[in-house]
Amino acid sequence: MKIFSAQQIYQADKSTIQREQITSDVLMERAATQLFEWLHSRLRGTQVNVQLFCGIGNNGGDGMVLARKLHEHDYSIKVHVVNYSERRSEDFLLNLERLKDMKVWPDFINKESDLPQISPNDIVVDAIFGIGLNRAPDDWVGNLIRHINNSRAFTLSVDVPSGLPVDRNPWNSEYVIRASYVLSFQLPKLVFFLPETGIYVNQWEIVDIGLDPDCIAKTDADFELMGRPEVLPMYRPRLKFSHKGTYGHSVIIGGSYGKIGAVQLATNACLSVGSGLVTAFVPKCGYDSLQSAVPEVMVLTGSREKSISEIEIPFEPSVVGIGMGIGLDDDTVSAFGSFLKKSNSPMVIDADGLNILSQNPEMLKDVPRLSVLTPHPKELQRLIGEWASDFDKLEKTKAFASKYDLVVVVKGAHTITIYNGKGYVNTTGNPGMATAGSGDVLTGMITGLLAQGYLSVEAAIFGVYLHGLAGDLGASSMGYEALKASILVKHIGNAYSELFRQPEMEQKDNAH
Ligand SMILES: NC(=O)C1=CN([C@@H]2O[C@H](COP(=O)(O)OP(=O)(O)OC[C@H]3O[C@@H](n4cnc5c(N)ncnc54)[C@H](OP(=O)(O)O)[C@@H]3O)[C@@H](O)[C@H]2O)[C@@H](O)CC1
Ligand SMILES: Nc1ncnc2c1ncn2[C@@H]1O[C@H](COP(=O)(O)OP(=O)(O)O)[C@@H](O)[C@H]1O
Ligand SMILES: [K+]
């Protein structure tokens, strides 16, 4: 699913109105009717107080329509107009009149007003600001927002949490609604997925308001949300008359004394994701443990006991995954540098492999184009430098990836794969995966997918999705805390099955 900027959403809105030859208030009615249906299907007439806080723009207009519909269905409502500007939108005014026609009288909150009482048992509808927010809310509006947050009432935000801009970080983190649930129109917003701004969104769901599909299809988006429908078509089926050579020979290079487990996890994951053959290249101290822990893996060793000081592979690997647990010894660094110089095909670089690149940026030109780099936030910072915000981080990563023609996997709760100026936002995974070695598993998986012929960017996107899915399946059976990297590996097979599960077997629940 594409992720649009505010301008692109306004454009789709305009194009829908033109194409369907409707007025904008019809679209507002359609959008808010969906909000009503959502709430009504859950409340089913329960007598709970619904307090609606509506701004004076179209987001507030949506709130007005919702208020009218709730009133028509005998819900107990209280409507507040947050009167932050004289420039009211036409559709807001129209729907304010329609509400008054039904003898519902909103109270107007302005700078001087007392804050309304909100009980923790109320339902708050937050329709103060939508995607039109373009500057910091005034302090009195910010205080109202803080008051709503402190009420502990269930807060349903219309389109976006009020106070959260869609293209930058908030001016004041206190002046943003912490939404229990966001019903967002048509397309998800990038801010829902970034660590600094995703915290305002507990759960979200898309409400389809029928924006012009042609316009959406034709518009190039900088970011895309990668759910099952986007990822499934990337799958490359196994062929009946195939053999292990068909699926490539992966080589995993890494490990040092005390860090052989990283290679064990990566090789195991590489095999489980389907690589035909897997060889590990480790220092001598890793030989016995690897041979006994992963019998399917072939093991090569360097000449030293505890670290890698030269890298010689006596055959042409389909793909190399390098860096996990490899350490930063001088000899290891120079072995890594010479290995890069003689490598021509895309590889996967992780962990200390990335740290070596950060410390020796002249090596970057030798990284084969279309290689996949998998930094966690610290490693990314060492590679591209400090950033001012998540938005800045993504822009800098895009520039870095384009400069060297690489795929960069920005790992996190919503891992974002960056390639060729675009970002692909992952939807699977959970906090149980914040555990030692889960990154090594990912590196092994992406390596194994490249070995099977996936293109670099697809191997990264597909691998990240499958890795998160394995984590979700692992967590569903054992919870977050007990999830370990080796359990992720065990669930790779189940993750494939889950990917192919027929849609009709799924629960119809779009919430995230
Ligand atoms: N897209 C769609 O398909 C559909 C969208 N719909 C809905 O429309 C919503 C967008 O509505 P919107 O454009 O009227 O903007 P909204 O967020 O209500 O803000 C109102 C105005 O406030 C102003 N303003 C900004 N910041 C401010 C501040 N800090 N303090 C004070 N004022 C501030 C600014 O005006 P300005 O003063 O800059 O002229 C802004 O225009 C969208 O989120 C969705 O809910 C649906 O109805 C149907 C289909
Ligand atoms: N809160 C989270 N939600 C979802 N996935 C997470 C979360 N925290 C970490 N992960 C995932 O776990 C992996 C951690 O990688 P990394 O930090 O390199 O671990 P390690 O170095 O221990 O192998 C990444 O793929 C990341 O996306
Ligand atoms: K809102």
Distance of alpha carbon 218 from alpha carbon 223, whole angstroms = 14
Query: Which of the ligands is closest to the CA of residue 127?
Result: 3
DSSP 457-509: HHHHHHHHHHHHHHHHHHHHHHTTTT--HHHHHHTHHHHHHHHH--GGGS---
Q: Which residue has the least CA distance to atom 13 on ligand 1?
A: 132
The string of DSSP letters for 186-207 reads SS--GGGGSTTTGGGEEEEEEE
DSSP three-state, residue 420: coil
Atom 5 of ligand 2 has which residue's CA nearest to it?
413
Element (H, E) at 424: strand 422-426
Rounded Cα gap, residues 262 and 254, in angstroms: 8
Domain architecture of the chain: domains with CATH: 2-220 (3.40.50.10260), 231-236+245-501 (3.40.1190.20)
Q: Which residue has the tokens 């494939």?
A: 496
pLDDT of residue 284: 98
Residue 139 C-alpha to ligand 1 middle, in angstroms? 18
Atom of ligand 1 nearest to the CA of 27: 48
How is residue 5 written in tokens?
A: 């900027």
Atom 43, ligand 1: residue with shortest CA distance: 130
ipTM of the complex, rounded to two decimals: 0.96
Question: What 8-state DSSP symbol labels residue 320?
Answer: E
> Does residue 254 have a known ligand-binding role?
no
Q: How far does the centroid of ligand 3 lie from the alpha carbon of residue 411, in Å? A: 29
Mean pLDDT of the chain: 96
* Residue whose entry in the numeric block shows the structure tokens 């909000």: 35
**Tokens of residue 258, six digits:** 């005390």
DSSP summary character for residue 148: H
293 annotated to bind ligand: no
C-alpha of residue 285 to centroid of ligand 3, in Å: 58
31 in ligand 1 pocket by Cβ < 6 Å? yes
Q: Are 388 and 196 in contact (CB under 8 A)?
A: no
Q: What are the pLDDT tens digits along the chain (512 aa)? A: 999 999 999 999 999 999 999 999 999 999 999 999 999 999 998 989 999 999 999 999 999 999 999 999 999 999 999 999 999 999 999 999 999 999 999 999 999 999 999 999 999 999 999 999 999 999 999 999 999 999 999 999 999 999 999 999 999 999 999 999 999 999 999 999 999 999 999 999 999 999 999 999 999 999 999 999 999 999 999 999 988 888 999 999 999 999 999 999 999 999 999 999 999 999 999 999 999 999 999 999 999 999 999 999 999 999 999 999 999 999 999 999 999 999 999 999 999 999 999 999 999 999 999 999 999 999 999 999 999 999 999 999 999 999 999 999 999 999 999 999 999 999 999 999 999 999 999 999 999 999 999 999 999 999 999 999 999 999 999 999 999 999 999 999 999 999 998 766 555 555 67
Contact 152, 120 (CB under 8 A): yes
Q: What is the pTM of this model?
A: 0.96
Pairwise CA distance, residues 190 & 192, whole Å = 5
Encoded tokens for 296: 């399917």
Sequence-ordered list of residues with C-beta below 8 angstroms from that of 139, at least 6 positions apart, any chain? none
**E-only strand ranges, 232-350:** 249-253, 277-282, 298-301, 319-322, 348-349
Return the DSSP state at 284: G
Question: How remote is the CA of residue 55 from the centroid of ligand 3, in Å?
Answer: 9
Pocket of ligand 2 (CB under 6 A): 351, 376, 411-413, 415, 429-431, 433-434, 436-440, 442, 467
Report d(CA 417, CA 423) in Å as an integer.
6
